[in-house]
Chains A and B, each alone.
Chain A
Amino acid sequence: MAKHNEGYVSFDENGTLIKCTKTAEEAAEETRGGTAEAGSAAEDADADAEAVGAADARDDAAAIRVRGFRRSGFSPLDTVVSTFGDGVRGARVVVGEAGRAFSLFDPKQARQRKKARRDKRHARTRVAFFRFSHYDAAFKYFVEQVLDADFVALPPATKRTFDLGSRYSSDSVCAPFKHILGDYIEALELGADVLVQFAGPCRLGYYGELQQSILRDLGYEFDMLNFSTVTGKPAVDYIKICRAKVNPNVSVPHGARQLLATFKMIEALDEVNDFYLANAGFECEPGSFVRTRDRFFDAMRSCTCERDIVETRNAFLDEFRNLPVDKPAHPLRVGIVGEFFTAPDEHSNLQLERKLLDMGVEVHRTVSLTNRALHYNEKNLRASVSDYVTYDMGPTSSLTLAAALKYAQEDFDGVVHVKSSGCTPEIDCMTVLARIASDYRMPVLYLSYDSQTSDTGLDTRLEAFYDMLAMKKERG
């Protein structure tokens, strides 16, 4: 039987108004707690309801409640006064659940009734995000808990994904666009109704519209929840667009709370991943870190509330800390900086982190959803690199430069700058990075990814970089 936690108003056969705030099960339980007679009545009611089926669960629940009360000799409209005699003055009316005054025309309840009606008209939408690093758990949580819709989980990306994406996009557009377009095509093949696209201050801001146009030209039917259309507008517009595209019954208080939980999940994902990056290069048992991280992501995918998230995070952080590692006193430390999509996304950067970890390097990466989207304070970051730049140079430029400078000041052995080919803001950063590198005598490896970047070429460059860093460290 469907479970509903909301209150609602219903009428019984005689047209008497009944107000219920509990589910049928709870109602039945309540009555069971009373007399034996009432208990059997509730069981009858349950059986009745099951016979009717779960389709009109709400109405059933009301009917059960009515019948349950009737047989137990207690009518839902009975007050304390009528039950315990007329002599009691100033007694409180206990209709439905205590705590609120009873009203015939409670606007809130009327609204909820309306919603309940609307619910039947709308099929649940199937929402898909693009693949982005390890954030699919957070995307899933956002879709299921905040938007209250079905999430279309995508299998790991393959070569086909990127081939599809690059086939249908302009040649000179940046690589993330192609990756995301490929993801969308695969999501639509899996039956997604709504695709979600972010807003951003560079080309990303125009991704959604162009991708929508391309996919429509390809003949797909879908809707796009494009946050670019509401950038800079008040929160009401965000709610409106979610209601229009995904679920007309999105609850604002519930959604807001779950949105905070989503942020918490993103932070947890990044926190655990940072620990992984710093230590996985020194694991005693090969593969133990990857396996634990995979289990962690799986556990995160099945979280349904904030408590789950925090508990999972704590449990897995403990587990990670207990994994045996053999870490030298002064390991080779490499920082990854760069463009927002390519640097964190393992598939786009051809497993760059994995390759570095396999060489036994402590990897740090500042650019993540947490640091760029949730805790991004551009002015503070820029203040830390004020020796080099005066203005905000682009969407992630301040983060890139501040992180690189921090790594340089903390005596990291090297920095890898990752970007997709043609990423304008990061290209401009390279001028400044080169200056930081020469001032602090810190090697920087510039990697630029496009559709032709080969795995072997990357291996060669990384190995050479590693050798250089190791020799530099040995010489001291």
Chain B
Amino acid sequence: MQTRRMLTKGRLVPNFFSAPYADVRVVGIPRALLFHRYGALWTTFFEALGRSVVISEPTTKDTIAAGTALSTDESCLASKIFLGHVDELRKRCDAVFVPCYNNEGARRAFCTKFQAAPDVVANTFCDPPLRVLSCLVSETADKQDARQAFLSLAMKLGAMPKQAKRAWRAAACAQQEAEKAACARTKATFDAVRRAEEAGEAPLTILLAAHPYLSYDPSIGGTIADMLRGLGASVVLACENDRKKTLAASFDFSETMPWVVNREIIGAITLLHDAVDGIVLVSAFPCGPDSMTDDAIVRCIQGKPILNLTVDAQSGTAGLETRVESFVDILRYQKRGGYIHGKA
């Protein structure tokens, strides 16, 4: 350190040891798992550091098949899809970005899947070895929040501290904008529903409560949202709400729930409970956190019909369609006043 400073007249200059990823020009980001939550942050960050970013194509049947072949049988669908995306990317980039998201504080943890993702990728694609670009977000144990994690990542990429901070600012702004846009979408949906109600219609509003990687994935949650829209319902996504508010609301529901994403979903359910007609819970098979929170939701959220769907790699859409259609029919009947007293 001392000699380096002398050579560079007091300035820190990245070298091979401090910046092992300086040569990475093209960063690949799999369009799976947390990309659907932090996509704007990640892309902007790497672009601000002068890297070009390649994002894998939206999930197809082939992605699922490739991912299933690569992963352990018992892994959840979401992580199988994730490996499928990495597989698709690895020929097209210098390094794949797989961050290790552990937690954002106490009771704001992520599923251990996100924690293990970088090592799972590195061990799955070990021959030939795949370059994995990663950073650790862990506020409780390692006292490292997202900002610090990404700043140190920028250092590894050979950025100067100033550049790194600038890149983080740009990324954080982009992320904020993306979240605002998502909230605006929810608001627009509710506005449209209100206008329809004023016009004398009886529109159905359904809350799709699922992890972002399901809600935004065209092959899983996307089909369910499309089905609901096709049946004339307005769909509100639980993940498109103010994260701070939903997180705060979730503490009224549960004291000890460890997972931040599940907390936000539950917060959205409790906040929007009166504004929607029904709730659709979607989880990937076999999802660890959802196996418990879905039980808690069904147990404690009363007064609104809840449809609990589990999607797996095998599921054909026919069975899903039947269940979704009948759920919408039930909601319609209920809205008219029930089977017996209504005019249906």
Contact = CB atoms under 8 A, between A and B. Distances in A.
Contacts of B119: 388-391, 393, 428, 431-432
Interface stretch (B191-199, B232-240, B267-275, B287-295): B287-295
Given A202-B288, A231-B106, A427-B72, A394 B116 contact: yes
Contact of B115 (A213, A394, A431, A434): A394
Contacts of B134: 390-391
B305 interface: no
Contacts of B295: 169-170, 173, 210, 214
B286 interface: yes
Interface in B211-266: 254-258
Given A170-B294, A421-B74, A424-B112, A209 B254 contact: yes
A8 B329 CA distance: 73
A173 B116 contact: no
Contacts of A422: 74, 286, 288, 291
Interface in A394-441: 394-395, 397, 421-425, 427-432, 434-435
B86 interface: no
B102 A388 contact: no
A343 to B, nearest CB: 16
Interface in A222-246: 226, 228-229, 231-232
* Interface residues on chain B, size class: 35 or more
Interface string A179-216: 00000000000000000000101110110111001100
Contacts of A393: 112, 115-116, 119-120
A394 B118 contact: no
A232 B256 CA distance: 12
A95 interface: no
B136 interface: yes
B299 interface: yes
A199 B72 CA distance: 28
A172 interface: yes
B299 A214 contact: yes
Interface residues of A, number: 46
B297 to A, nearest CB: 11
A388 B123 contact: yes
Given A213-B296, A391-B134, A431-B124, A205 B258 contact: yes
Contacts of A389: 119, 122-123
B264 to A, nearest CB: 15
Interface string B157-173: 00000000000000000
A174 B72 contact: no
Interface in B72-116: 72, 74-76, 100, 102, 106, 109, 111-113, 115-116
B300 interface: yes
A170 B292 contact: yes
Contacts of A431: 71-72, 119-120, 123-124
A202 B292 CA distance: 11
B140 interface: yes
B140 to A, nearest CB: 6
B116 A397 contact: yes
A206 B256 contact: yes
A232 B140 contact: yes
B72 A201 contact: no
A422 B126 CA distance: 25
B125 to A, nearest CB: 10
A226 to B, nearest CB: 7
Given A173-B295, A395-B112, A427-B75, A390 B122 contact: yes
Nearest to B75: A427
A172 B112 contact: no
A206 B291 CA distance: 11
A392 interface: yes
A474 interface: no
A428 B291 contact: no
16 contacts: A172-B285, A173-B291, A174-B288, A203-B289, A206-B257, A210-B295, A231-B106, A388-B123, A389-B123, A391-B116, A424-B113, A428-B112, A428-B113, A430-B74, A434-B123, A435-B126
Given A203-B289, A431-B71, 7 more contacts: A172-B310, A173-B292, A213-B299, A228-B256, A231-B106, A388-B119, A425-B112
Would you list the 4 A-B pairs with minimal beta carbon distance, nearest first? Answer: A428-B116, A393-B116, A170-B295, A394-B112
